[in-house]
Chain A
Amino acid sequence: MNTHENLFPKLGKEALLTFCVSLVLVGPISGLVLEGFTFRNELVHAVLIAAVITAGRLVLSAVMVTPFGRRISGVLSRSGGGVTVRSGKERSSLPLLAVLFLAGLALPFVADKYFLGIAILALIYCLLGLGLNIVVGLAGLLDLGFVAFYAVGAYLLALGSQYLGLGFWSALIIAPFLAGLFGMVLAFPVLKMHGDYLAIVTLGFGEIIRLVLNNWLAFTGGPNGAPVPPPTLFGFEFTRTARQGGTPIHEALGIPYNADYKFWFIYLVLFLVVCAVIYAVQRLRVMPLGRMWEALREDEIACRSLGVNHVFTKLSAFMLGASTGGLAGVFFAVHQGFVNPTSFTFFESALILAIVVLGGLGSTVGVVLAALVLTILPELLRDFAEYRVFVFGVLMVVMMIWKPRGLVRVTRPAFFPSKSAEPTSSPVPSANAEVSR
């Protein structure tokens, strides 16, 4: 009872403080809009924003003291740590995966060109998220310059075709190696660093790549960018008339021309690559290498004392992550038909990081879902496009406060002794056991 009697003065004080602080915060920036050397008075606007912030804070505090609010906050903060260990008795998710795979393959035949474009973009971000997830989610190395490897892949195709005559397929094979090489170059100086230093150095690396691409006019075309040749399949082209000396694919197959064939092709190849990468990541997670990544993320000192080669482990995470980023870059370049440095700013790195964080650091399903949501949602909310970055920022902060481990809880398969070797008495983890990380 006592708490309720004290509630109102307390809430009032809180409201007053919030209102004053938010007025100081938004007053000058929202209330007095610069116009040349003078300003436009929009103080009413600022007071309204401050009032909204105060009301939001009050509602939040008021809800939090009710039993319902406590239950909500309890639910939200419950799965903060830990992983779900599978018992091995769950139904196999194979049928579901097969259906999803077939649905993915069938998408181009039902979707229109606009939707297919979004789907390609979403899959590119899936690929980027999966790559960064290896580095940040599994190995726990915060990489803020991931976009550099994306740029390497994209520019490999653009400049490779310009100077070396590379095509889409050769670029697709070379890109992971080249990006992996860049990853290694970056990884060597950063292996000794931890946490925050690593973040800033990778950020600096990403900016260096972008600035070089932007300033080296003679080689990269600078801010004007570089054209990217359209893709080919077995030498067949997707244009109406052959431009690269081959045969257009519709003539070879004897079907009517459709400008969408190119996007169908990009989508299908990309989809298969994403599936392959998901499969590879899932396998890696149960392999010794993947387990070493996760162990190193949790406690580097303990790992090293147990003989884990931390240099090799970190290096492999960096290189595999970078390779995946390079692959994504090739698809981005071929989809756009043109690359320039503005596609590879720090915001892209932050966006990919947001995908990994929202999905749940280390969770493959989460990353794929987050990539789909974060690319499709802005398309649906085109009217609010200017608030997109703001909403991303808010989401990142809120997620870190309420669910620092991401939305999707990490699950991990349990390991059992083989049935022939051991009869029954071995301890088996109970279903969905909570194992503290």
Chain B
Amino acid sequence: MDFYILAQQLINGITLGTIYGLIAVGYTMVYGVIRMINFAHGDVYMVSAYVAAIVLAVISFFGIQSVPFALISILIITCFVTAVYGWAIERVAYRPLRGSTKLAPLISAIGISLMLQSYVQIAQGARDQGVPILIQGALRFGGEEHFAQITYMQAIILIASLVAMGILTYVINHTRIGRQCRATQQNRQISAVLGVDTDRIISTVFVIGASTAAVGGTLVTFNYGSFNFFIGFVMGIKAFTAAVLGGIGSLPGAVLGGILLGLTEALFAGYVSTDYKDVFAFGLLIVLLFFRPYGLLGRPEIQKV
């Protein structure tokens, strides 16, 4: 009996963790190329949740019933719109600040975060929004009374996250753009000297980060069914915790950190207290940075004078 509760928490934790991982990718890649925390990333995720719900509403307005078609088109359109958000944010708020003071991009990012939150609140209203449940049912293990289950939606989350991560890994490791990204991450000036259009690469990284956040946002929206204009804040901090946990700047680290955070959080919520699970996540971040400032898979930065 206890075994099934544990198994259920593990399943929930891993599902949550892959979502954290997807959003952490955006933090980690942006930090890799321009060494700043994109504070508005959580709110980009929030925007993607709204866009996904709006696209679903439009699709059902036109009377399209096919769930796979709906899901795939929602994913594509949401990714596109959110990617444009990522691109525009970089263009408007971060690019003019290259070479400015150290605090400037971070403060500008907080400004963008406030703008996005309040824009969505003004345009869509402050109340909680919901989406209908698209996919019901679950795979059950165990008996009638005690069982662990993995809902089809959770399975879709796992599969979609795996696919997204696979595509991303391929792009980063085996394409020209990916090679340029890695070069820019190692040394922006030298890459520019060698003919890499670093401004374009930075834009690309923002686009990639925003689209993976959009995949996460869409999946979370259809899993939990409700959202509001404020969800980006907590999700943003947690995804950042995941990125730091795995070592910021490292892609596999982001995924590993996400899953670890999701698991520990689910276990904490299941066995200790649900009220304090956010306190636990933030406390974990502080303790971790104290003992391992460069995360699990990260490399220490050497300061050169």
Contacts and interface: CB of A to CB of B under 8 A. Distances in A.
Given A36-B130, A404-B101, A200 B237 contact: yes
Interface string A177-202: 00000000000011011011101110
Contact of A357 (B107, B122, B244): B107
B130 A201 contact: no
Interface stretch (A98-106, A257-265, A270-278, A385-393): A385-393
B119 A200 contact: no
Given A193-B293, A197-B293, A386 B54 contact: no
B211 interface: no
Interface stretch (A7-15, A20-28, A228-236, A237-245): A20-28
- Secondary structure class of chain A's binding surface, majority of residues: helix
Contacts of A111: none
B142 interface: no
A142 interface: yes
Interface stretch (A64-72, A206-214, A311-319, A374-382): A206-214
- Secondary structure class of chain B's binding surface, majority of residues: helix
Contact of B107 (A26, A204, A396): A396
A37 interface: yes
Nearest to A396: B111
B289 interface: yes
B61 A39 contact: yes
Given A37-B132, A197-B293, A201-B285, A389 B110 contact: no
B110 A353 contact: yes
Interface residues on A, range: 35 or more
Interface stretch (B92-100, B182-190, B192-200, B259-267): B92-100
Contacts of A411: none
Interface string A27-54: 0111011101111000000000000000
B139 interface: no
Interface residues of B, number: 73
Interface string B30-52: 01000111010000000100110
Contacts of A157: none
Interface of B: 31, 35-37, 39, 47, 50-51, 53-55, 57-58, 60-61, 80-81, 84-85, 87-88, 92-93, 96-97, 100-108, 110-125, 129-132, 233, 237, 240-241, 244, 275-276, 278-279, 282-283, 285-287, 289-290, 293, 303, 305
Interface of A: 21, 24-26, 28-30, 32-34, 36-39, 136, 140, 142, 144, 189-190, 192-193, 195-197, 199-201, 203-205, 207-208, 211-212, 215, 301, 346-347, 350, 353, 357, 361, 386-390, 392-397, 400-401, 404-405
